[in-house]
Structure 1
Amino acid sequence: MVEGWFTGEGDGFRLLGTRCSACASVFFPREDTHCRNPGCPGGELEEVPLSPRGRVWSYTDSQYRPPSPYVTDPELPWRPYALVAVELEAERLVVLGQAVPGVTVGDLAVGMEVEVVPGVLHEDAETVRTTWQWRPVRGRAV
């Protein structure tokens, strides 16, 4: 979807953020020009992979077709999806994204552990737009 926001495949899939060398603040989406922390004198920004797991901070569902620039085929019926805000504990950062297909708001709970996985935002004959999605972690050790 946006180049440079994620990398890898399968278990190696990660969102990419940046960390300031002066104050250690982590940013997503990534920041490549200056530290966004207003109390920081500024430092070098380095790319860092973010934690692959986090906990549901909040969630809702999308019952309507979003306007442009969201890419969707207006000829196909709209399929609602769950939208999840996930707190990455190590980074103390909340990242918004869709839940994997088949996961509804009825399947989610605040505090539930989820993991980031690659997903398809939109696909047509010429292009596959890949994004990140959140998948509940079930029956796995933390």
Structure 2
Amino acid sequence: MVAGWFAGDGDDFRLLGTRCSSCTSVFFPREDSHCRNPGCPGGDLEEVPLSRHGRIWSYTDSRYRPPSPYVTDPELPWEPYALIAVELESERLVVLGQAVPGVTVADLTVGMEVEIVPGVLHEDTETVWTTWNWRPTGVTA
């Protein structure tokens, strides 16, 4: 889990971003030092929970094992996954993430509504690394 990127679980799971008090720009990943908007004189940055829902802006699949720092078990066969770019409902910000396991590019369409849910990036006998996944609304996983 990347500290400060998300909070909660289940229906309370949210990505965390930051909003500039001066220009109201929203950032994800979060920004803690300065406003990234080049036209902004600068303002205080406050943590804000981001929308749980959005619409698919684009998508593709990953058919190869990515290099480090992505963690995979080399003893297990590679399992392709769908990668989705989602425009968040309120922020109009595009956030990338994996689809929930079992959802493939054949199940997706541009404009489809999705929601954010907690996911597992990797786990071993001692640790579970949490991430986020996108799930088409109405699909249970």
Alignment match, 2:57: 57
Q: Which runs of 5+ in 1 are unaligned?
A: none
- Please tell me the root mean square deviation across aligned C-alpha atoms, in Å: 0.9
Question: Number of paired residues?
Answer: 139
Distance in 2 separating the partners of 1:137 and 1:128? 25
Match of 1:122 in 2: 122
> What is the aligned partner in structure 2 of residue 88 from structure 1?
88
Q: 1:89 & 1:97 partners in 2: Cα distance? A: 15
Q: Which stretches of structure 1, 4 residues or longer, exceed 2 Å deviation after superposition?
A: none
Q: CA deviation at 1:127?
A: 1.0
Aligned residue number for residue 38 of structure 1: 38
Q: TM-score, normalised by structure 2?
A: 0.97
Number of the residue aligned with 2:97: 97
* C-alpha deviation, 1:71, in angstroms: 0.7
Instruction: Give the aligned partner of residue 76 of structure 1.
Output: 76
The alignment partner of 2:29 has SS state of: coil
Amino acid at match of 1:62: S
Q: Partner letter of residue 138 of structure 1?
A: G
Shift of 1:118: 0.1
**1:71, 1:32 → 2: CA distance?**
27
The separation in 2 between residues aligned to 1:29 and 1:88, in whole angstroms, is 13
Separation in 1, partners of 2:73, 2:35 = 38
Task: Report the Cα offset of residue 126 of structure 1.
Answer: 1.3
One-letter amino acid of the counterpart of residue 114, structure 2: V
Percent of residue pairs bearing the same amino acid type? 83
Could you say which residue in structure 1 is the equivalent of 2:138?
138
